[in-house]
Structure 1
Amino acid sequence: MDSTVQAWVDGWIVSRGAAPPVTEPWGCTIDVGTNGHVTRHVFGATGDDLDETAVRKVAGAVTGAGVWLKAFRDPSVVAGWLDGNWWIDPEPGCLMTVPLKPAPANAPDVPDGYRLRSWSRGGVTRVLIAAPDGSLAARGQIAPTGATAVADQIETAPEHRRKGLGSLVMRTLQIAAVRQGARTGVLAGTPAGRGLYEALGWEVVALLTSAKHCPRT
């Protein structure tokens, strides 16, 4: 399995509390156990190294709803390997990395009226930014697993975007990961989040296709 994909899998299962991955010749299978996301199959190769035959075989064996595929290649390619029972996100996600730097002397500034809190439990550090009225403004979490740390579930409420809150969440999470010994950050980002991550120095190492099995009735 590609080393960055492996690092992402290792951190993601800690972040989500998923079952340990079952190793397969083509990658791994992860039981997640939530409604609409029962299991996911993650292919270990990226780009042109991703094997079409393997993807077709794995996808063809899926019969139930709520099973996901994660394949690190452009959806415009992978979509041609799947039948009509798969919902495919038409926009490519991206596997990204960044070197993690030591924490600056001063903590990141929190905008006036907002409240930031972070805490760690079970190896996962979470960050919450509450709006002046107490509602959710932004959040995220990170799971260090040795030298790498996976950032996950980064979110900014629509009405609080363009205020630097996403950057504040990411910087706070990265500082926490460095303090736990991580040297490289890894994430699988959405198209909407890619601009934020790139502005913070993250680099794309592979495109990502996300597909969900939705069998026709």
Structure 2
Amino acid sequence: MEGVPPALLHAWLAGRSLARGLPAPMADRGGYRVDTRSDSEYCRWVFAAPHPELSALAREVDRPGRLIKLCGEDEALRRLLPDGWQIHAPAFFMQAGSWPTARSLPAGYRCETSVAGPVCRVAILGPGGTLAASGYAAETSEAFVFDRIVTAPAHQRRGLGAGVMAALRAMRTRDDAPELLVATEEGRCLYQHLGWRVLSPYATAALPPV
């Protein structure tokens, strides 16, 4: 299992950029570049599958904060890189399938939602109004993209992550676009339980900090 259709990768990247207030992805070097410009990351290149330009790009990058990402196995990315690059923790490019029936939140929790243009936000508040779980999604003409689904450690294993996902999904205005996300190893378990499937591993590499 390696690679995804470039159009599907672009759809996810465009939604992710909207959800995070980042510039739109631009075609570059056989993949897509997003100029993130944060304290820890200057930009990232994302490739739908192994591409000859990826190796050439990696040889040109000479400083940290320039990430290269590939829809493929960690080892496939490693083979394309010169010495000195470090592989990050694995992730997974996923698409929704059939969803289970949404369950009610546990007693003492409540859900708040907000919408700002194409971006949706859900916050689940626990007893005393503390933030227990949250998440974002962005809707475009190409996809509905879930992003930053987080449950606070003290509130885990109570179905709150699934509650966030269900609340975000209920805010869609159309149901004919693919639902996409990139998950960590831990998050993949939740999403597969909700009927999502892995389309491809999602590998990341960067030069180590100076």
With the length of structure 1 as denominator, give the TM-score of the two structures: 0.85
The count of corresponding residues between Structure 1 and Structure 2 is 206
Aligned partners of 1:96 and 1:186 also within 8 Å: yes
Cα shift at 1:170: 0.6
Cα shift at 1:55: 2.0
Cα distance in structure 2, aligned partners of 1:182 and 1:100: 13
Cα shift at 1:62: 1.4
1:191 and 2:182 correspond: no
Moved more, 152-161 or 131-140: 131-140
- Correspondence for 1:214: 208
Gaps of 5+ in 2: none
Moved more, 156-165 or 92-101: 92-101
1:66 and 2:61 correspond: no
Aligned-CA RMSD value: 2.2
Identity of aligned residues (%): 32
- Correspondence for 2:96: 98
- Correspondence for 2:21: 17
Higher strand share: 1
Q: Could you tell me which amino acid in structure 1 is paired with residue 73 of structure 2?
A: D
- Correspondence for 1:56: 55
* CA deviation vs aligned residue, 1:140-193 (integer Å, no higher than 9, x gap): 11101124111001111122111000100111111112x345532011111110
Aligned partners of 1:130 and 1:137 also within 8 Å: yes
Distance 1:132 1:84, change over 3 A: farther
Aligned partners of 1:96 and 1:206 also within 8 Å: yes
1:203 and 2:201 correspond: no
- Correspondence for 1:39: 43
Cα distance in structure 2, aligned partners of 1:128 and 1:186: 20
Aligned partners of 1:148 and 1:183 also within 8 Å: yes
Cα shift at 1:27: 1.0
Q: Could you tell me which amino acid in structure 1 is paired with residue 55 of structure 2?
A: R
* CA deviation vs aligned residue, 1:46-79 (integer Å, no higher than 9, x gap): xxxx12x322111222123212111111112312
Aligned partners of 1:36 and 1:66 also within 8 Å: yes
Distance 1:113 1:28, change over 3 A: same
Aligned partners of 1:146 and 1:182 also within 8 Å: no
- Correspondence for 1:2: 6
